[in-house]
Amino acid sequence: MRKEVVLVTGANGEVGHGLITHLARSKRNAVVAMDLQPLDPALTPLCDRFIQGDILDTMLLGRLVSEFEIREIFHLASLLSTRAEFTPEAAHRVNVEGTLNLLRLAVEQSHWQGRAVQFIYPSSIAAYGLPSLAAKQAAGCVREDDWSHPTTMYGCNKLYCEHLGRYYSRHYRQLAVEPDTAHVDFRCLRFPGLISAETLPTGGTSDYGPEMLHAAARGESYACFVREDARLPFMAMPDAVKSLLMLSGAPRERLTRLVYNVTSFSLSAGEIYRLVARAFPTAEVTFQPDAKRQAIVDSWPEDIDDSAARADWGWQPDYDAQRAFDEYLVPAVTRRYASEPAR
């Protein structure tokens, strides 16, 4: 008998850390973690197996099918928006072909098991594309189906993979003589910028939020690459993990959509700075906008409407901005860097 497991790709990433900790604690299923890099030793005891490898390696994914009965896939691996702009074709391979490989694996597993394998996919506010700052300010809080003309490769990848998920979930091989009954149970969240106290993101465009906080906690100065009035929606990492687990646990019949916005609070870069400076009064932050990264932020909405998630599966964040900083981010980053000498 193959062992029933939940597969987490991109295990070392910032969402992976929080998610694996919760999955291990809940003991729902054994966790098989996958990442390109060796697993963070802190995660090792929480995972049943770690597979170091590439989601583009179809041989490796084939081996997974033969070894495990994968009940659920959290596909977190991706190349974020800023990094993807430097290598757009490589980003397309990782973000789209990698996702396609995992959707194919999910279909195969669904066939073996005679039931739909759940596929949880984090998409992003990058899937939106507002044509100008004026349009962004006029749009305010946007719904899932609005403004879907992303300007970044990462945003295009995320939006397309949302469509791929719908295809694999509802229309896979629709012309086959025998209708395919074991479709993938695809469920997707569009995340705002995420802020974690434990890890720093790499290669994103909303990274100025977490970077400002971590720099202040380390006693380092920080040059923020967007204007002080640049505004984006954000979420503290515990809420991001909570939303993934809530969506995964929601009864299928309650879901009226495949893609759901989730958010917690919207802040300008200046407001983030003021929250950081309240906790770390010696924080040295300057605003030195990079016109090109600023343009990406200007194309993302300043707020997103998550009423569908609230109505369908009871989504509600635990942390507003104040609580996120006071009760999670500041205490945890302070602890994290306390043992390191100030630079």
Q: Find the shortest distance in angstroms from Cβ 316 to ligand AKB.
A: 21
Name the closest residue to ligand AKB (Cβ). 204
Q: Find the shortest distance in angstroms from Cβ 203 to ligand AKB.
A: 7
Of the two residues 110 and 205, which places its CB atom closer to ligand AKB in the complex? 205
Q: Which amino acid is at 172?
A: Y
Closest CA to 144 of 257, 251, 313: 257
Which residues contact ligand AKB (rule: CB under 6 A)?
A: 80-81, 124-126, 154, 193, 201, 204-206
Q: Find the shortest distance in angstroms from Cβ 181 to ligand AKB.
A: 34
Of the two residues 199 and 205, which places its CB atom closer to ligand AKB in the complex? 205
How far is the C-alpha of 277 from the C-alpha of 339, rounded, in Å? 21
Residue 161 has phi, psi (to 5 degrees) of: -70, -30
Distances (CA, A) of 334 to 55, 282, 337: 35, 14, 6
Locate tokens 């300008």: which residue?
A: 268
Q: Find the shortest distance in angstroms from Cβ 79 to ligand AKB.
A: 9
Of the two residues 13 and 51, which places its CB atom closer to ligand AKB in the complex? 13
Helix %, strand %, coil % for the chain, to 5?
Answer: 45, 20, 35
Distances (CA, A) of 270 to 158, 202, 232, 246, 253: 28, 22, 11, 32, 42
Q: Find the shortest distance in angstroms from Cβ 193 to ligand AKB.
A: 5
Contact criterion met (CB below 8 Å) for 263 and 306: yes
- Active-site residue set: 154
Of the two residues 154 and 168, which places its CB atom closer to ligand AKB in the complex? 154
Of the two residues 16 and 68, which places its CB atom closer to ligand AKB in the complex? 16
Q: Judging by beta carbons within 10 Å of its beta carbon (0-12, 13-18, 19+), is residue 295 exposed, middle or buried?
A: middle
